[in-house]
Every structure is written in C-alpha cells, then in structure tokens.
C-alpha cells in the first residue's frame, strides 16, 4: 500500500498528453510522465484495501480481472510512494519481464480491478510502472548478463512477439541455448508491426532485444518456419520448441466485390506503415497509402482504433469505423459489477483524433459492409453499408446480429481496412509441427498446460487465441517453466 490516507488527500493525475492538433503530425509517442514527486503522490493513493484484486489475474464471468502476471502491485506502489525506485524495479522484475511494453500498450486490467476505483478514480498503476522501468533503464539498473553455466540444451522459439520474447528470456537465464526465429525482417512480432509507433516506439523494443542478444540469445529474422524450414527439421536440431507465432490468421469479410483493389487486412496495413517508417528512419511518411482517401475501418477494437489513428496521420480525407455490436453503455450496468472487466464505452486516442479532425466520433454501431463497389479498373470506389439488429435463432436459441432489410446505403470508400479479429493459428505452422488444434484452431494442450506434443510447446495467442500483450507475456513465462521441467526434470524458474 501507499500512504494510508493518500486516496483521500490526492486526486488522480496523469502525465501530460500531446494535443491532437500536434500529435497527428507525426508517429511519435505522445504520453509524458509526471515528475518523480508527483508520481510519488499518485502511488500514495494505493490504499490498504485488504484484498488487492489488482494483482489477482483471475477469470470472473469469463473475463480476466487484475494483472495476469500477478505483479505485486501494492508493494511496487508503496516503494514508488517512498521514492525507492530502484527497489520498486527489483520488486516489479520478480514477476514482470517487460514492463516497458505493458506500461505503454496494456489496457491496465490492474486499474480496472483497483478497489480505489470502486468509488473514485483508480490508482495510476500503469504510469507508476512506466516511471519505474524508465528510471531503471536511465540509471543502468536493467541488465541481462549471459549465464555463467550452460545446460547444453538447445531450444527454438518460433515467433518474437511478447510470448516468444518472454519464453526466450527465461530459458536463456536458466542456461539453455535459445534461438528465436522471426518470419519478418525485424524482431518484435506484433509489438513491432501490429502496434503503431505512437503507442510503442520501436526503439523500446530494440533496447530490450540488444540486452537479450548480449545475454547470448540468437535471433534469426526473415525465416518463416513451416515454409523456409520445416517443423521436422527444427525438432531434429533442438531439444525443445516453443511455438509463439501468434493467432495471425485474420477474419475476412466475404461480401461481393471483396477482390477490389484497396481492401487490406488491418495488420498488413499497419505493418506496411511501420516498415516504411523504419526503412526511411522516419524521414518519409507513406502518405500514398491513405492521403485524400475515404477510409472505412471494419472493426471497433484496439486494432481498428490503431488504423483510425494511422490513417489520420496519413492525411485521410475521412475515416469511418464500423462496429457490428451495439454501442456499450457509458457506465457499468448492474449485470457487470466491479471487479469484473468494465464493458463500457471507451474513447481511445484514434477516436479522440477523429473527433478533433472531423468533428465527430468515427464509430457507427450495429453496421457492417454488405457489398464492395469497384470502378472499371477494379479499384474500390464505395461500399454498401447495412444496419444490423439482434435476433434469436429459433433452432439454436442463440442471439446474433442480422441485416435489417431496406437499411442499405452507399458511401464513398477508396480504402477499406478489415480489423475484424483473428481466427487462430496459421495452418502451415501447426501442420508442419504435427500438433493438434482445437475448434478455434488454437494449438491444443491439456487444460492449464503448454505441451502440445513431444518436444513441442505452445505459448501466447497461438495457444489461447487473440489476447493482450500482458497475457502473452504470462503465457511465455509459464511455457518456459514447463520446457525447463521437460529438459531438466525440475525448474527453478
């Protein structure tokens, strides 16, 4: 806990945020930190609540409540309040591999389960965490020494996203020789190419990867396992394999005209934007992708929001975001009590920027695309939108969103980005390794376990389906422990 009366004395205060008018001119991070003294006051608001739901990381009504990493949140907050940032980092690092990632991109499950947040604003745990890790980097506290003793065991990690990096880090610390394979040209997986630079500056990834390389971890990029090298070859060369290659099979929109030029999956678009920025060292912006275009983003989640923010920076003429489901309530319903994850309306940075730029929230609810229209050259020119309503299926009894007859309307669109989620793992990977998949094409394992077959383990989205960075890190840690037990008969991880 922090100061016993801190939550009564101090109101929540977050770090400064760059105004929309300025931040949409570039792809730089736009959240600043408070100074150390102000951050101590924020940590002081952590109350002696008795049962810290913030660090529980348990499922309530099918949703995770609290930190999946079980970070020692009140202890870290207390150390920040006392100004002992070095010890706060040591305490945080007991449970967390990469606070620099989650303190930027996590939706802060800890804060939504904060007891203080039941009647007031929750404790700013996410910013406290960012203050701690940035202090640690600035003061040379973050190090990753090469293990003094090696086990002689070799482990391949397929994928360099958050779960793959977490598994690689811990397995290397244990003394195993770890090689990470990444199919893209740079390390980071979804952290690199699925999350825009303004949310997670790519130098933050590079900083961590450099430490991991110094510690003896080998990274091999431009290597697509299952295509460039077979799963069987990998299994022959290594003592264990961790599949951490994500749920990268995107959900499509099967509507007439889908083959029109100008329709992209959201992650492919975001990757292209980031890659071109990185290749030019941020000297050239890929305006040609969206400038002057009417953009339709299909999907109301985080990826859709990232597309909105990216297209605004690329000078889109207009941006509309479609969401199939009804608009969420602005406050918790009685059926969604604390400490459940709050199913309420949130206005993210992309929507804020659209409101500034175009004068209104870009989201249209209970709507989808019925048809894509193209010109004589095959280029997308417009879309037919249709409204949806909730109806019960008489056979199954399930509620589903169905089109409303006569609600169609045509709107101009020269760029459509499909951000409708993912269907699970890539089949060429799972088939190459000969592992079973479940009904959602996630790699099948025993409940609560990570081993899929002899030598092969699974972690992150490829195992649990599309989820959060913080859950992916937790998955990577858990898989690393199982791999270590498999190789050594016991684990100290």
Whole-Å CA distances, 371 to 56, 249, 264: 45, 22, 15
The neighbouring-strand residues paired with 318 are: 294
Q: Average the pLDDT over 257-271 and give the result.
A: 97
Helix (H) or strand (E) run with residue 78 in it: helix 73-81
Residue 330 pLDDT greater than 80, yes or no: yes
* Segment among 42-46, 68-72, 286-290, 392-396 with least mean pLDDT: 392-396
Domains of the chain by start residue, with CATH: 6-138 (1.10.1060.10), 154-248+423-488 (3.50.50.60), 263-418 (3.50.50.60)
Confidence of residue 395 (pLDDT cuts 50, 70, 90): confident
Structural contact between residues 374 and 380, judged by C-beta atoms closer than 8 angstroms: yes
Sign of CA dihedral 102, 104, 105, 109: positive
Structural contact between residues 389 and 381, judged by C-beta atoms closer than 8 angstroms: no
Question: DSSP strand E in 341-414: where?
Answer: 363-365, 367-374, 380-392, 399-403, 409-412
Q: What are the tens digits of pLDDT across the range 360-376?
A: 999 999 999 999 999 99
pLDDT, residue 396, reads 83
Structural contact between residues 463 and 145, judged by C-beta atoms closer than 8 angstroms: no
State the chain's mean pLDDT as an integer: 96
Write the DSSP string, 312-360.
HHTT-SEEEEEESSPPPPSS--TTS-TTSPP------HHHHHHHHHHSS
Helix (H) or strand (E) run with residue 220 in it: strand 218-220
Q: Which two tokens stand for residue 259?
A: 């083959």
Pairwise CA distance, residues 285 & 282, whole Å: 7
Residue 193 pLDDT greater than 90, yes or no: yes
Q: For helices 36-44 and 125-138, give the axis angle rounded to 10 degrees.
A: 140
pLDDT > 70: percent of the chain: 100
pLDDT, residue 116, reads 95
Q: How many residues does the chain have?
A: 493
Q: Which two tokens stand for residue 303?
A: 């990826």
pLDDT, residue 412, reads 98
Confidence of residue 15 (pLDDT cuts 50, 70, 90): very high
């Amino acid at each position: 806990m922090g100061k016993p009366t801190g939550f009564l004395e101090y109101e929540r205060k977050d770090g400064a945020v760059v105004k929309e008018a300025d931040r949409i001119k570039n792809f730089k991070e736009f959240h600043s930190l408070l100074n150390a003294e102000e951050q101590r006051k924020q940590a002081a608001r952590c109350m002696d609540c008795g049962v810290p739901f913030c660090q529980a990381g348990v499922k309530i009504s099918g949703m995770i409540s609290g930190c999946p990493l079980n970070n020692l949140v009140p202890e870290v907050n207390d150390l920040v309040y006392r100004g002992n940032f070095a010890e706060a980092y040591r305490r945080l690092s007991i449970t967390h591999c990469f606070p620099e990632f989650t303190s930027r991109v996590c939706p802060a499950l800890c804060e939504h389960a904060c007891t203080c947040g039941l009647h007031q604003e929750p404790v700013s745990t996410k910013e406290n965490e960012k203050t701690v890790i940035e202090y640690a980097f600035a003061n040379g506290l973050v190090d990753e020494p090469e293990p003094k003793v090696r086990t002689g065991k070799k482990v391949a990690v397929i994928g360099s996203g958050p779960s793959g990096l977490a598994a690689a880090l811990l397995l290397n610390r244990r003394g195993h020789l770890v090689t990470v394979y990444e199919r893209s040209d740079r390390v980071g997986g979804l952290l690199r190419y699925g999350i825009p630079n303004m949310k997670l500056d790519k130098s933050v990834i590079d900083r961590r990867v450099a430490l991991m390389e110094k510690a003896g971890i080998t990274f091999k990029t431009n290597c697509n396992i299952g295509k460039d090298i077979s799963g069987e070859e990998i299994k022959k060369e290594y003592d264990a394999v961790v599949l951490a290659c994500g749920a990268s099979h995107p959900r499509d929109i099967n509507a007439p005209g889908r083959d029109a030029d100008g329709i992209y999956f959201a992650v492919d678009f975001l990757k292209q934007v980031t890659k071109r920025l990185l290749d030019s060292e941020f000297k050239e912006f890929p305006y040609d992708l969206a400038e002057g275009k009417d953009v339709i983003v299909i999907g109301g989640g985080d990826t859709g929001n990232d597309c909105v923010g990216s297209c605004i920076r690329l000078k889109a003429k207009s941006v509309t975001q479609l969401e199939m489901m009804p608009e969420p309530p602005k406050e918790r319903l009685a059926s969604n009590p604390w400490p459940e994850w709050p199913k309420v309306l949130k206005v993210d940075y992309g929507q804020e920027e659209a409101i500034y730029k175009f004068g209104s929230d870009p989201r249209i609810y209970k709507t989808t695309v019925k048809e894509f229209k193209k010109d004589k050259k095959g280029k997308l020119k417009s879309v037919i939108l249709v409204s949806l309503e909730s109806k019960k299926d008489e056979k199954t009894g399930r509620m589903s969103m169905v089109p409303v007859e006569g609600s169609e309307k045509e709107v101009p669109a020269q760029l459509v980005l499909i951000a409708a989620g993912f269907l699970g793992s890539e089949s060429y990977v799972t088939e190459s390794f000969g592992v079973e998949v479940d009904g959602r094409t996630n790699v099948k394992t025993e409940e609560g376990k990570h081993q899929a077959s002899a030598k092969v383990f699974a972690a992150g989205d490829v195992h649990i389906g599309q989820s959060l960075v913080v859950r992916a890190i937790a998955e990577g840690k858990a898989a690393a422990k199982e791999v270590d037990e498999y190789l050594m008969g016991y684990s100290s991880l």
